Each structure stands twice: as structure tokens, then as C-alpha cells.
């Protein structure tokens, strides 16, 4: 198996104030994947990214990017990384073209107008190339931040809340851009509050809470493993109460008595659906329709974070 | 990019900083040149005729090296401090910190740009002075050397202030409350030999005296202190600034958490 493109081992970060932002974080990012880092505000997502990118000093631990130690061999490590930070920090009076070209030079690449043009066109910024950044909308500025990060052709791209404050249409455009980048071989690590974003794009998901990485899993596997399924039965006639003989099942009757919901685990050997159906028939309960629903990544995430809080 | 110096990064930052200067040319170049010219007109061409020459040098010409130094010192500090402070203020410093750029490249680019602006200012001011007062330059190479050394030293000093400052007020404190008074009292408008003995002794603790004296010596072959001492003092100041900057980047002080 190929070595991970990013490897984080035993990473701890305690600020001078005494606040511990990261506790013993261990994480490998595989080449060419899209990795989504989920976590509530203040969980340590941005600190983790900032340390890998060299903006914040680690207190303890080692990090390598493409085999290069980010502290001991920063030039080699950083030249492979592009960063789109959470905050929209731009040089207001610079033009889109100049600021993007500046970023390419800063990362040690010789001028390449053809690449800058391609990047700006791929982000629908070409017609704004001579505009000053202060004249652009928030969404456009976000695109410029991505263009700056891509200007030096990084192998690894960090997107810290890339679609925060971006409208739905632009968000979907950006997802297409990110997918295109992955297809061209770029490894992408994104943090997001939009679970839909992770669900749509990520190959793997990491959940961070209170500075600890509480889970790293394939997204589909995670949803499969932790996903609860619900069977909803629409009653032919509303029930006043749960009929006798059904107490053994995890059933929930809606307040209007019209829907009976059965929650089950797909990972268990027996889901209990056949037995439930038999029990319903015996109890004389008739239903006119049924449907099943899989838990979303959002529900899984909330459940994981709450479990972490209880620990 | 090679593992050595990141020349493209130096060029990118330098170009960015110079673009900023030319974008604000009235504020960056025209205003300081106008101030120096006004000093020359009022104190040189105007009042200068009523003041006796110092060691055979007409007063109008005598103040030129001091005025150019005043402009170079204040503008070097202001340009370099703003150049590095503003990315910290706006947050764009993230890009510099996450780029494969070492302390040396950052300093060369920011300090180089600030010093370049000061040298442009000095050249324009000098050309203006030649038009307004009878001026001679006895040691042009030494004059250029002093000018360049001072521009780089004070740009480096400004760079340190820019890193230290955590607000616009702090950015202004050192240039306004320290550099400008030291320059005015450092022999810009008078030789320190005219001071009473006690004040002359105090004046020798003012580092700017050595800069102005050395620079004036390159014009008229005469100064308040020995040219060798002036040169040593300037190089000493440069060394101290280099040491502080090196330590700042080693520790990440005021740059990284």
C-alpha cells in the first residue's frame, strides 16, 4: 500500500493560555482521497490544519507531508500544500490576476500565465481578472482564495470551511471543482459544517471533538456501520395507544396515532422486522403504507459528538 | 523550487510592495519629497542666507545631508513597518507563513522594497537640492554606501516594529516619538559642535548623530564624529537589527501561535 501523503502522529497543541486545542491526534491521509474533517465549533479543526500548514507551532508530535517533516523540512513540505483558509482575507486593492500570480511566486513557481488563466477560468473568474478584490462579492472572493491556493499546483489542498456563506448554486459549482481536482490527482482535506458537503464528496470522514479525533472511517462504511434504519408504518386507522403484545419492540407511536415507527440496526443478525409484522397481525393492527429511512451523516455526527461529550 | 533560496517568492513580495508604493505615489513619494523641498526652501534658500556658513559650507547646503537622512530614516521605518504589519492586520499573513519561504527571503523582500522606496525618495530629494542650493559631493561612492546602509538598517528596524506592533497606534509610536526627535536633535539643522559641552556629551548617545555625521562627511569631508566611528556605528545598528529579526523568525514571536 502506498505511504500516506499526510501522516500525523501524537500531535498535541496547548496554547500559552493553557488551552489544549489538540490531544494526541493520529491521522493518515491517503493519496488522492477527499477527507472530510467534521466537528463542532472550537473542536480543533482549524488548529490541526494550521499546524500541518505551518501557521501554528505544534507542542508535541510529528507531521509529514509527502514524506517531509513539516517542522524540520518546511520548504519541501509546504511547497506541496495549498491552503484555503476559513476567513476571507484578501488584499483589497489588488486585482484577481495579480493576487493569484503573487501566490504562485510565493510558493516558488516560475510565472505561468497559461496556468493562471486555466485556474481562473475553471473557477469562473476569468472575466473578473482585472477587478480589484474589494469590488467582488463574498462568493467570488472565496473563489479567488481557491484560485490562489491552486495557482502553485499543490498536491495537497486544504479547504477550511470552503463553502461557508456561499449560496447553494455556487456551493454545487465548488463541489464540481473539488471533484475535478481529485480526478487530477490532488488530495483534498476539507473541514465543513455542512454535513451534506461531506456526504456528497468525502471518501473518508474524521470526527473531531474537544481536540480529540474520535473517529476516522470510510464514509460509506461509517454510514453502514452506525446508520440506524427506521421503518415507518402508516396506520389504516389512527391508534389511541400501542396495542398489547407489542411492548417488546422499539416502537414509537406518533402523537396523532397515525404513524408507528420501528428503529432497527442493519448490522444485527436479525432486524426483527418479520417478527414485528407477525406481532402486528396478531394484534390486529392494519396499515396502509410503509417506508424505510437510513440515518444521514448529520444524524451520525451528532450522535458521535454527544457520545464523545458523555465520555 | 530548489531547496536553497526561493527567488520567485522574493520577487513576488518585492513586486507586490513596490506596486503598493506606485499605487499610492502621492502619499508614498510625492508627499515626503515635498516636505524635504519645503525644508530646503524655508531653512536653506530662505533663512540660510542669514546664517553663517559652517566651516565654509553655506547653511543651505549644510542641511541637505541631514534632511535627506531625516526623510530616509522616517520613510524606511514607516514603509517597512506598514509592509509587514498590514498582512498581520488583514490576515493575509497566513499565506506568507504557509509558503515555502524562509526568514531570509521574507526580510530581503520586505526590507529590500522599503529600502528601495527610501532610495528613490533620497534620489529625488537630492536632485531637488541640487536645483535649490549650492551643493557638492566630495565622496559620492561613500555617500551612496551610507545612504544604502542607512536605508536598509532603518527598514530592518521598521520591519521589527511592524512585527512588534499589535495596533496602528504602536506602529506610529516609535517613528513619531523616537525616530523623528532623535533625527531633529541628531544634527540635521546644526553641527553638534555648537552645543554646550554637557549637551554635546548627551548628543553623542544619540545614534542618529553618527549616521548624519557620516553622511555629511561624504558631502563636505567634515562631520561631528570620525567617519570610521560613524561607519562602525551604522554597521553596529544593522547587526543588532539583523540579530533581532533572526531571533523573531526562530521563535515565531508575534507571528505564530
What are the structural domains of chain A? 6-223 (3.40.50.300), 228-294 (3.30.70.1560)
CB pair distance less than 8 Å for B256 and A57: yes
% of chain B exceeding 90 in pLDDT: 48
**For A160-169, A179-188, B124-133, B135-144, which range has the lowest pLDDT when averaged over its residues?**
A160-169
Report the pLDDT value the prediction gives residue A152, as an integer from 0 to 100. 95
* Residue A256 phi, psi dihedral angles, 5° rounding: -90, 0
Report the pLDDT value the prediction gives residue A225, as an integer from 0 to 100. 66
Report the pLDDT value the prediction gives residue B29, as an integer from 0 to 100. 84
**For A108-122, A168-182, A277-291, B215-229, which range has the lowest pLDDT when averaged over its residues?**
A168-182
B232 touches chain A (CB under 8 A): no
Mean pLDDT of chain B: 89
State the smallest CA–CA distance between residue B248 and chain A in angstroms.
Answer: 14
Report the SS3 class of residue B57: strand
Confidence band, pLDDT 50/70/90 cuts, at residue B197: confident
Q: How many residues does chain A have?
A: 311
Residue range A95-113: mean pLDDT, rounded: 95
Residue B93 pLDDT greater than 50, yes or no: yes
The three three-digit cell numbers of residue B179, written as one number: 525616530
ipTM: 0.82
B256 touches chain A (CB under 8 A): yes
Residue range B84-104: mean pLDDT, rounded: 90
The three three-digit cell numbers of residue A108, written as one number: 516558488
Residue B1 pLDDT greater than 50, yes or no: no
Which of A53, A89, A108 is closest, CB to CB, to B92?
A: A89
* Cα A120 from chain centroid (whole Å): 25
Residue range B38-53: mean pLDDT, rounded: 81
Residue range A42-53: mean pLDDT, rounded: 92
The three three-digit cell numbers of residue A160, written as one number: 477550511
CB pair distance less than 8 Å for B92 and A90: yes
CB pair distance less than 8 Å for A106 and B102: no
Confidence band, pLDDT 50/70/90 cuts, at residue A170: confident
- Alpha carbons A171 and A142: distance in angstroms, whole number: 11
Report the pLDDT value the prediction gives residue B122, as an integer from 0 to 100. 94
- Alpha carbons A192 and A40: distance in angstroms, whole number: 9
B252 touches chain A (CB under 8 A): yes
Write the pLDDT tens digit of every residue in A122-157. Answer: 888 999 999 999 999 888 898 899 999 999 999 999
Residue range B218-239: mean pLDDT, rounded: 92
As a three-state string, the secondary structure of chain A is CCCCCEEEEEEEEECCCCCEEEEEEEEEECCCCEEEEECCCCCCHHHHHHHHHCCCCCCEEEEEECCEECCCCHHHHHCCEEEECCCCCCCCCCEHHHHHHHHHHHCCCCCCHHHHHHHHHHCCCHHHCCCEHHHCCHHHHHHHHHHHHHCCCCCEEEEECCCCCCCHHHHHHHHHHHHHHHHCCCEEEEEECCHHHHHHHCCEEEEEECCEEEEEEEHHHHHHHHCEEEEEEEECCCCCCCCCCCCCCCEEECCCCCEEEEEEECCCCCCCHHHHHHHHHHCCCCEEEEEEEECCHHHHHHHHHHHHHHC
Residue partners of A278: CB distance under 8 A and separation at least 6: none
B223 and B230 in contact (C-beta within 8 Å)? yes
% of chain A exceeding 70 in pLDDT: 95
Residue range B183-207: mean pLDDT, rounded: 87
Q: Give the torsion sign (CA, A293, A294, A298, A301).
A: positive
A67 and A56 in contact (C-beta within 8 Å)? no
Report the pLDDT value the prediction gives residue B50, as an integer from 0 to 100. 78
Residue B33 pLDDT greater than 50, yes or no: yes
B198 touches chain A (CB under 8 A): no
Residue B2 pLDDT greater than 50, yes or no: no
pTM: 0.80
Report the SS3 class of residue B76: helix
Residue A1 pLDDT greater than 90, yes or no: no
**For A196-205, B66-75, B230-239, which range has the lowest pLDDT when averaged over its residues?**
A196-205
The three three-digit cell numbers of residue B39, written as one number: 525644508
Report the pLDDT value the prediction gives residue A311, as an integer from 0 to 100. 56
- Alpha carbons A123 and A146: distance in angstroms, whole number: 8
The three three-digit cell numbers of residue B221, written as one number: 569631508
Residue range A258-287: mean pLDDT, rounded: 85
Domain ranges within chain B, ordered by starting residue: 7-251
Confidence band, pLDDT 50/70/90 cuts, at residue A113: very high
Residue range A295-301: mean pLDDT, rounded: 70
Give the pairing of strands A6-14 and A20-29: antiparallel
Amino acid at each position: 500500500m502506498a505511504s500516506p501523503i499526510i501522516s500525523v502522529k501524537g500531535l498535541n497543541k496547548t496554547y500559552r493560555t493553557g488551552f489544549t486545542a489538540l490531544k494526541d491526534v493520529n491521522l493518515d491521509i491517503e493519496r488522492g482521497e477527499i477527507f472530510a474533517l467534521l466537528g463542532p465549533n472550537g473542536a480543533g479543526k482549524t488548529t490541526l490544519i494550521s499546524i500541518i500548514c505551518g501557521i501554528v507551532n505544534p507542542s508535541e508530535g510529528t507531521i509529514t507531508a509527502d514524506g517531509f517533516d513539516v517542522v524540520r523540512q518546511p520548504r519541501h513540505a509546504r511547497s506541496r500544500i495549498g491552503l484555503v483558509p476559513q476567513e476571507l482575507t484578501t488584499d483589497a486593492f489588488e486585482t484577481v490576476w495579480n493576487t493569484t500570480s503573487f501566490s504562485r511566486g510565493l510558493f516558488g513557481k516560475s510565472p505561468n500565465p497559461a496556468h493562471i488563466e486555466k485556474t481562473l477560468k475553471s473557477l469562473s473568474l476569468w472575466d473578473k481578472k482585472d477587478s480589484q478584490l474589494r469590488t467582488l462579492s463574498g462568493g467570488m472572493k472565496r473563489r479567488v482564495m481557491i484560485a490562489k491556493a491552486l495557482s502553485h499546483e499543490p498536491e495537497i489542498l486544504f479547504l477550511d470551511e470552503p463553502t461557508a456563506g456561499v449560496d447553494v448554486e455556487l456551493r454545487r459549482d465548488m463541489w464540481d471543482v473539488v471533484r475535478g481536482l481529485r480526478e487530477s490527482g490532488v488530495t483534498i482535506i476539507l473541514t465543513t459544517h455542512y454535513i451534506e458537503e461531506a456526504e456528497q464528496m468525502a471518501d473518508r470522514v474524521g470526527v473531531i471533538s474537544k481536540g480529540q479525533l474520535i473517529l476516522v472511517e470510510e464514509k460509506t462504511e461509517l454510514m453502514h456501520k452506525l446508520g440506524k434504519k427506521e421503518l415507518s408504518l402508516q396506520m389504516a386507522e389512527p391508534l389511541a395507544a400501542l396495542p398489547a403484545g407489542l411492548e417488546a419492540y422499539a416502537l414509537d407511536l406518533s402523537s396523532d396515532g397515525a404513524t408507528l415507527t420501528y428503529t432497527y440496526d442493519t448490522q444485527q443478525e436479525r432486524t426483527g422486522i418479520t417478527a414485528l409484522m407477525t406481532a402486528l397481525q396478531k394484534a390486529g393492527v392494519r396499515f396502509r403504507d410503509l417506508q424505510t429511512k437510513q440515518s444521514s451523516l448529520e444524524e451520525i455526527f451528532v450522535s458521535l459528538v454527544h457520545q464523545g461529550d458523555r465520555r | 523550487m530548489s531547496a536553497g533560496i526561493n527567488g520567485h517568492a522574493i520577487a513576488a513580495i518585492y513586486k507586490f510592495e513596490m506596486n503598493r508604493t506606485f499605487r499610492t505615489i502621492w502619499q508614498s513619494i510625492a508627499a515626503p519629497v515635498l516636505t524635504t523641498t519645503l525644508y530646503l526652501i524655508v531653512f536653506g534658500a530662505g533663512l540660510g542666507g542669514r546664517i553663517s556658513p559652517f566651516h565654509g559650507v553655506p547653511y543651505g547646503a549644510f542641511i541637505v545631508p541631514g534632511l535627506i537622512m531625516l526623510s530616509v530614516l522616517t520613510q524606511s521605518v514607516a514603509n517597512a513597518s506598514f509592509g509587514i504589519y498590514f498582512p498581520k492586520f488583514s490576515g493575509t499573513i497566513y499565506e506568507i507563513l504557509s509558503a515555502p519561504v524562509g526568514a531570509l527571503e521574507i526580510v530581503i523582500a520586505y526590507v529590500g522594497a522599503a529600502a528601495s522606496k527610501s532610495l528613490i525618495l533620497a534620489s529625488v530629494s537630492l536632485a531637488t537640492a541640487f536645483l535649490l542650493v549650492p551643493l557638492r559631493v566630495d565622496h559620492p561612492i561613500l555617500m551612496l554606501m551610507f545612504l544604502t546602509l542607512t536605508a536598509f538598517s532603518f527598514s530592518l528596524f521598521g520591519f521589527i516594529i511592524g512585527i512588534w506592533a499589535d495596533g496602528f497606534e504602536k506602529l506610529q509610536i516609535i517613528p513619531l516619538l523616537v525616530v523623528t526627535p532623535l533625527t531633529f536633535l541628531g544634527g540635521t539643522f546644526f553641527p553638534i559642535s555648537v552645543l554646550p559641552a554637557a549637551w554635546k556629551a548627551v548628543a553623542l548617545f544619540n545614534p542618529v548623530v553618527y549616521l548624519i555625521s557620516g553622511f555629511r562627511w561624504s558631502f563636505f569631508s567634515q562631520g561631528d564624529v570620525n567617519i570610521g566611528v560613524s561607519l562602525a556605528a551604522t554597521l553596529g545598528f544593522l547587526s543588532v537589527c539583523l540579530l533581532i529579526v533572526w531571533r523573531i523568525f526562530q521563535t515565531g514571536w508575534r507571528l505564530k501561535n
